[in-house]
């Protein structure tokens, strides 16, 4: 299975895959990872809607970059690109810990770092789990109006 195979999975299947997977180690995440948005739900809609967008030129989010971990914490940023211009924005720190989404452990991605806007620090959450060699499934969201959540799923694999 690779990144693009996940586009054919339904929301319930993606949720089950996420719940059954284990967190990756901090040491294995190093470098650029291509990203794919898979599905989401926007309040107050109770159902998931498919997104399935693969690095389209008009979509600036291209994935994430991870830097080598030091002392049980890692660092990284989201990769964005517009045309031939690439930027790494919205830096984050990572650690393995108890999931906020279910009873398992996840690689927690924390945006509460200097330089990020307030809404990102306090209203965004991401978690990552490993599906197989070089394939990762993420789940995250954004708090809307302080209490409703826009939840989405995304996937990563090492950039070519």
pTM (two decimals): 0.89
Q: What is the pLDDT of residue 27?
A: 92
Predicted pLDDT of residue 80 = 92
Instruction: Please provide the DSSP assignment of 10-78 as one string.
Output: -HHHHHHHHHHPBPPPGGG--EEEEEEEEEEE-TT--S-EEEEEES-TT--EEEEEEEEEETTEEEEEE
Report how far residue 100's alpha carbon sits from residue 116's, in angstroms, rounded to the nearest whole number: 21
Token pair recorded at residue 12: 């319930």
Which tokens is 105 given? 């452990």
Backbone angles phi, psi at 3, to 5 degrees: -55, -45
Q: pLDDT at position 43, please?
A: 63
pLDDT of residue 41: 76
Query: What is the model's pLDDT at position 8?
Result: 84
Instruction: Note the CATH architecture for domain 3-158.
Output: Beta Barrel (2.40)
Give residue 52's pLDDT.
63
Local mean pLDDT, 10-residue blocks, the chain (160 residues): 86 92 94 90 67 67 91 92 87 94 93 91 91 94 74 91
Query: Per-domain residue ranges for the chain?
Result: 3-158
């Amino acid at each position: 299975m690779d990144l693009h195979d996940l586009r054919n999975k339904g929301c319930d299947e993606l949720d089950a895959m996420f719940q059954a997977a284990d967190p990756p180690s901090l040491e294995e995440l190093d470098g650029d990872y291509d990203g794919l948005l898979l599905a989401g739900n926007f309040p107050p809609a109770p159902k998931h809607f498919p997104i399935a967008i693969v690095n389209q030129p008009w979509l600036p989010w291209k994935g994430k970059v991870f830097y080598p971990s030091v002392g049980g914490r890692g660092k990284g940023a989201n990769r964005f690109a517009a045309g031939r211009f690439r930027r790494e924005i919205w830096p984050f720190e990572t650690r393995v810990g108890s999931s906020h989404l279910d009873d398992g452990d996840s690689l927690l991605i924390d945006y509460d770092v200097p330089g990020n806007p307030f809404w990102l620090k306090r209203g965004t959450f991401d978690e990552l789990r490993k599906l197989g060699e070089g394939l990762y499934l993420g789940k995250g969201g954004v708090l809307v109006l302080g209490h409703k959540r826009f939840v989405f799923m995304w996937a990563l694999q090492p950039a070519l």
